[in-house]
Amino acid sequence: MKVRLATKAGFCFGVRRAIDLALKVARETPPPIYTLGPLIHNPQVVTLLTRQGISVINDFQNAPRGTLIIRSHGVGPGLLEKARELGFRVLDATCPFVRRAQQLACDLTASGYQVIVVGEKEHPEVQGIVGWTNGQALVVENPAEAATLPPHPRVGVVAQTTQPYARVEAVVKELRRRMGEVTVCDTICNAVVERQEAAFELAHQVEVMVIVGGTVSANTRKLTDLCASTGTPTYHIETGEQLRPEWFRGVKTAGLTAGASTPDWIIEEVERRMREMADREDITNPEEQVTTPEGDVTNAEQELQTTQVKSLRSGDVVKGVVVQVGQDEVLVDVGAKSEGVVPLRELSCCNVSSPDDLVQVGDEIDVWVVKAEDNEGRIILSKGRADAIRAWDTLEQAYQNGEPVKGVVREVVKGGLLVDLGVRSFLPASQVERGYVEDLSQYVGQEITAQIIELNKGRKKVILSRKVLLEEEYAQKRQETLSTIQEGDVVRGVVRRLTHFGAFVDIGGLDGLLHISEISWHRINHPSEVLKVGDELEVQVLRVDRENEKVSLSLKQVLPNPWDQVGENYPVGEIVSAKVVRLVPFGAFVELEPGVEGLIHISHLADWHVVKPEDVIEEGQEINVKVLSVDPENKRIRLSLREARKNDDNKYQDNNQGEITIGDVFGDLLQKN
């Protein structure tokens, strides 16, 4: 029997990120460490994490204080805040795609939309999204439920990231029939769509489909339903022990796929057992084969495994479990009478300083048998060579299909970075980011996603580009932003560039212009007086030109308008302090406070005829002026320096009560003498 694995199966980006974060925390953080609910919907992985010291709790209020990991499904902001208030160190492993759905739901609610979530009401991801709307979102699972919702003038739609596109489109169609404005946000994970499409296509080409994943995993159940809809017999299992030989009797080709929460080692184990069942079907009587619910293997299978161990020889690639990690070597149990040794230099295709950077006790890894027995009777293994064998097939397929690959940056070399993809790969400095990067060392140790732009297996040459993916992502964000943004929206952005006429702000793949006149309520000569590159700020959208992909922004519109309070702050007749900011032929403009300027007409500068304002005052001078009139609507205030000085003179005369002393008349003369 031929076993075909779907082109997309197993861990998605968000799940892998959550597990990597959890394992790193387990290595670096003292206990207790918790996950709020299962980190992912896979009991085998949860068990593995438990062995690493990570406990699952559903209520943290009475738990001893420690580190709390938020699972990939995410939670509402209230839970995050409560955990921090109680003294927990909170690490958020929410999937980036789920986080985006949460933020969109939050923004839509803040903008006055009735948010509708398409998904399963009891699923933790959906409950988390609802939490980001202060509990105001409504959840529907299908068009029939959407038809029962009360009409609303403005509706915003987000979807659980694992929902099928067809279901969401059907719900949106029903909402548009009954609601007013309907804004749809695309929150379905592309990896989920690709996995479903690959499974559906494979189910049409095989006689039996096996779906591997947790029974409570929503995306795995959807894969099962999707494959079953093709008419192909479909079986949902969690581990290889649940496989049954009768499923494959007389079957020539079987298909295999897995949900996003299923690790590679479970997929590989299921695939191995399926092939072994097919082999046993060929050499034994099916009636003599017995597979117990506990997963006991037959004598024939045990004998085959024993033979494989005895015939272990150089060049074999076998699976093993890491049992000990030393400073310069790793011990691996490969099922032989003794553990094999992986020297530090054989751990990776690139230089590594410590085995801990790559493997941990309990990890299941593929190893290449370098020597079945050396002079000391040890089995010498290589993880790097085994990785390379598997990697070349994966890389060639990714290169042909134009798919991105993931690897860890190991070194900075002349002209770029060395990336571990199972084989040494080169990422030129010009392809690291969309712009120039001065310090490449910041990427060492990071896992990156890149596109293969050149591959030559014969010369062992792999050239990568991260810039290509970033440009695609930026273009996608730009189109998404253009399609959803509306005039009047308040959005967050990052200052990317300053010019003499304003600043360009990235609001999600799209650089909007923040004109200098819209930066502040008070006059500035250059944007650098208020902003600097890298600043994060909220801005209001003034105009959207979708045809030319241009957006005009305003910062001052989200700031308090000082003119709203000028009537109260500067009543007519009041003497106030001001600063001369500009002299003009007809008078002077003075600043009462940032953003509020008034005019002193030339006739109100002094009680004599003034030819030029600079004969009386100068720029930067602090003076007292009298408020003559206030017009907030037209942003005008008339002021008088002359009247203010008259008031000062009157006060002086009042204080002296009209009496003139000898000191007033001869004081200067007496001082000189």
Q: For residues 554 and 539, is the Cβ–Cβ distance under 8 A? A: yes
Residue 423: φ, ψ to 5°: -130, 155
| Rounded-to-integer distance, Cα 341 and Cα 324, Å | 10
Q: Give the angle 219-220-222 at the CA atoms, nearest 5°.
A: 65
Under 8 Å CB-to-CB from 562, ≥6 apart: which residues? 521, 593, 594, 595, 596
Q: Exactly one of 125, 141, 238, 329 is catalytic; which is it?
A: 125
Give me the helices (H) in 31-151, please: 43-51, 77-85, 96-110, 124-131, 143-146
Tokens of 274: 């399926």
Helix or strand (DSSP H, E) at 576: strand 575-584
Which tokens go with 341?
A: 């040794």
Per DSSP, the chain holds a count of helices (H) and strands (E) of 16, 32
- What confidence score (pLDDT) does residue 276 get? 79
DSSP 102: H
Asked whether the beta carbons of 44 and 52 are under 8 A apart, the reply is no
- Known catalytic residue at 125: yes
pLDDT number for residue 502: 92
Mean pLDDT in runs of 10 for the chain (673 residues)? 83 73 82 84 80 85 86 85 87 81 90 91 89 91 90 91 84 89 84 82 91 82 88 89 86 88 82 77 39 34 34 78 81 74 85 79 83 76 85 87 90 90 90 86 91 88 91 83 86 90 88 90 86 90 87 87 84 90 92 88 90 90 91 89 78 53 47 43
Query: For strand 89-92 and strand 67-70, is the pairing parallel, antiparallel, or unpaired?
Result: parallel
- Which tokens belong to 224? 């099962």
How much is the pLDDT for 278? 67
Go through the chain and tell me how many residues it has.
Answer: 673
Place of tokens 């907030």: 632
Give CA separation, 623 vs 511, 637, 646, 650, in Å. 43, 16, 13, 17
pTM of the model as a whole: 0.40
Angle at Cα 635 formed by Cα 629 and Cα 636, nearest 5°?
Answer: 35
Map out the domains of the chain with their CATH numbers: 7-96 (3.40.50.11270), 97-188 (3.40.1010.20), 191-284 (3.40.1010.20), 313-387 (2.40.50.140), 405-483 (2.40.50.140), 485-558 (2.40.50.140), 567-655 (2.40.50.140)
**What local confidence, expressed as pLDDT, does residue 449 receive?**
93
> What is the rounded distance in angstroms from the CA atom of residue 383 to the CA atom of residue 350?
12
- What local confidence, expressed as pLDDT, does residue 640 receive? 93
SS3 452: strand
At residue 108, the pLDDT reads: 92
102-133 per-position pLDDT tens digit: 888 999 999 999 999 999 888 888 999 999 99
Contact present, 15 and 72 (Cβ < 8 Å): yes
